[in-house]
Chain A
């Protein structure tokens, strides 16, 4: 049979008797969305990739939820209160909620979810470490649970809105087993699982009994397409409704197409060039400051990123908790930068090499533009592309970088703590060179503070200190961009690609 398909294909090719293009995306009530990669499992505790969340956020609910505006709101918990001097958080659960298989949602389901996440099953996956601040979950009554904390965690409520904290059905998993659950997920979310073809697509359909009301779409198809050009081609051919992988160079192509619209919103991703404080000319803080002064980030944002980004002064987006509007980046001044380099005793033609992720089409251009500015400073700039796993697993953590390296970060919690701690605390893998007791102390201190104002103040201090040390060249906060077919209405574009298509419709 397979052979005959091929023969038919060739017959078609030979006769050029081409049927009008089949367009599955255009079916009424069905919307198709591209994700770049296949997480392999739909179990919340197995993966930690945004692509999982893009799809699975429609299958599952957490105790809390976060809307497209990034504001925290009640999810499966309707309210919560902090008890025992913040050592215990009590959640009131939403009543009359059902999983998509008919199983009831209650306190036992919450306990089961977190026992599983914090137990042996969770140990095998990457999610457990996000939730280690929780000691255990206690059932108070059918609709009330207590989270007993091991240590304070100001970001926990945000973390409960996603990833490993998604509530899973106990009976279903116990009966069918974990393997089955991986490929046949069940949650309480607005869409229920229909089918999964590895490396091809995940299909969901509306779950009419969802506690928030039935979603407006009948069917939702997530297609895995890794190559940006292919996503755009599918979008242009009308076979895809939402493209999520758009290097900025492709943005004008989407904008020009009358059938499509380009959505560009502030996103979580910040990009910087982290500097080597141990070796090379970047050892000297004055040189580092000269480099920051010598790169015209506004011009790069305007010309290379076509305005789809904002300048940053610290390694966080303005959506992030801890963002300080008063902290301004050093402004571009070529002459001054040259002078600073001279004062620091850097000879003309001194080498500076930037390590970067070779498959990031947008950053390839940014890196080249940045190198152009460094050359204008009289330095000998060069670029070293790396395969992403090598850069992240070996070059950075083992301190094998050149003078500068590409740091891109999209912390989903939108809290500077998460980023700053991992970036600047001694011994963390993203911080291969620095050991700064003062910085360490600040980073540790804010982790024990629940007072929002006070914690924000410390985070801002940290940002200012890092800027003062010029540990990195802050480049920009990159917009999240989507290419969307105009037949899609009420597309509530989330900054972090974690979609929730409850109100969206297609014509």
Chain B
């Protein structure tokens, strides 16, 4: 087991390194931060060279990359090209915002999908089942920016109930979390439904039911508890894709998170911020995948040999 974990850990380090290399290299292929800094306007080539020098861009790529790696080892991501703020400070503000939103979306999706999935399983094949499955797919069929804007128009402008953007009180989480959660809900409803169907057909549930236990007790206490393990592991895996897709939702809702940070960094060709934020995001995704892998490895030894 220790060998398995070590191997996985080494692979994870390799992946994060590869990600940083790809990102650092690719972002340098187009655009010049010095020009971006100058607002794309009145500036001479000599001044641009001065700026590049100050930003350390005159050095060859491998030197810049190694410097980045060296900083990484001591947790120093460098400073933003835009204003010189330490990247770690920017990330320390943006990361909690993104994680909170991601958690809120996951939770919201569970809150929605568990009762729906259970209800669908119980009514398997009848109209509630059909309706739930089709509705959950409808939620998946909108571009999320459009859904987000529609929600803002309805909840913020027509009804005046929710703040249209920003991360302020708890109510500001509702719309962004719903936009992201709806996409997860479609898959999660399906997952809950399938695993409930499996559990419900098992002996002890039948026994419990025949003993006259109330339906909802059987369903939520006994059956659901049994379906929880695959659900939780699967949700762990969703976390990664959730973080990856957060950019658009953060943009519409002006959420001060990692997506906004990285997107702005691309637009401004702010290399240190982009490298730092993508590295942190990749670390998170890899870490969660690693935990899921290790958990699987513990449960099912066959996987270790893979």
B82 touching A47, Cβ below 8 Å? yes
A227 touching B251, Cβ below 8 Å? yes
Interface membership of B94, Cβ < 8 A: yes
Report how far A166 CA is from B42 CA in the complex, Å: 18
Interface membership of B237, Cβ < 8 A: no
Closest residue on chain B to residue A394 by CB atoms: B30
**Contact sample, A vs B, 5 pairs, CB 8 Å cutoff:** A46-B83, A47-B39, A199-B94, A237-B156, A387-B267
The smallest beta-carbon distance between B53 and chain A, in angstroms, is: 8
B104 touching A10, Cβ below 8 Å? yes
Chain A residues 194 to 231 lying within 8 A of chain B, measured CB to CB, are: 197-200, 223-227, 229-230
Report how far A2 CA is from B251 CA in the complex, Å: 22
B100 touching A234, Cβ below 8 Å? no
Cβ contacts under 8 Å, A392 to chain B: 35, 40
Taking A233-B165, A234-B165 as contacts, is the C-beta distance between A12 and B170 under 8 angstroms? yes
A197 touching B93, Cβ below 8 Å? yes
The smallest beta-carbon distance between B139 and chain A, in angstroms, is: 15
Task: Give the residue of A43, A223, A224 whose beta carbon is less than 8 angstroms from that of B83.
Answer: A43
A230 touching B30, Cβ below 8 Å? no
* Contact segment of B119-127, B172-180, B291-299: B172-180
The smallest beta-carbon distance between A469 and chain B, in angstroms, is: 23
Chain A residues 357 to 412 lying within 8 A of chain B, measured CB to CB, are: 387-390, 392-394, 411
Residues in chain A within 8 A of chain B (CB atoms): 2-3, 5-14, 18-19, 21-22, 24, 37-43, 46-50, 123-126, 128-130, 132, 178-179, 182-183, 197-200, 223-227, 229-230, 233-234, 236-237, 239, 387-390, 392-394, 411, 418, 422, 429
Of all A-B residue pairs in the complex, the 9 with the closest CB atoms, nearest first, are A41-B83, A40-B83, A40-B82, A124-B54, A233-B164, A9-B173, A126-B38, A9-B170, A129-B47
Report how far A195 CA is from B92 CA in the complex, Å: 17
A21 touching B93, Cβ below 8 Å? no
Taking A9-B104, A233-B157 as contacts, is the C-beta distance between A227 and B254 under 8 angstroms? yes
A393 touching B35, Cβ below 8 Å? yes
A10 touching B107, Cβ below 8 Å? yes
B174 touching A13, Cβ below 8 Å? yes
Chain B residues within 8 Å of chain A by Cβ, number: 69
A18 touching B161, Cβ below 8 Å? yes
Interface membership of B269, Cβ < 8 A: yes
* Contact segment of B5-13, B197-205, B256-264: B256-264
A229 touching B256, Cβ below 8 Å? no
Task: Give the residue of B83, B153, B157, B163 whose beta carbon is less than 8 angstroms from that of A39.
Answer: B83
Residues in chain B within 8 A of chain A (CB atoms): 30-32, 34-45, 47, 50-51, 54-55, 80, 82-85, 89-90, 93-94, 96, 100, 103-104, 107-108, 111, 149, 152-153, 156-157, 160-174, 177-178, 251-254, 256, 260-261, 264, 267-269
A40 touching B157, Cβ below 8 Å? no
B165 touching A126, Cβ below 8 Å? no
Cβ contacts under 8 Å, B45 to chain A: 429
The smallest beta-carbon distance between A25 and chain B, in angstroms, is: 11
A393 touching B31, Cβ below 8 Å? yes
Report how far A191 CA is from B104 CA in the complex, Å: 38
Cβ contacts under 8 Å, A10 to chain B: 104, 107-108, 111, 173, 177
B30 touching A393, Cβ below 8 Å? yes
B107 touching A6, Cβ below 8 Å? yes
B84 touching A179, Cβ below 8 Å? yes
The smallest beta-carbon distance between B178 and chain A, in angstroms, is: 7
The smallest beta-carbon distance between A183 and chain B, in angstroms, is: 7
The smallest beta-carbon distance between A363 and chain B, in angstroms, is: 15
The smallest beta-carbon distance between B64 and chain A, in angstroms, is: 17
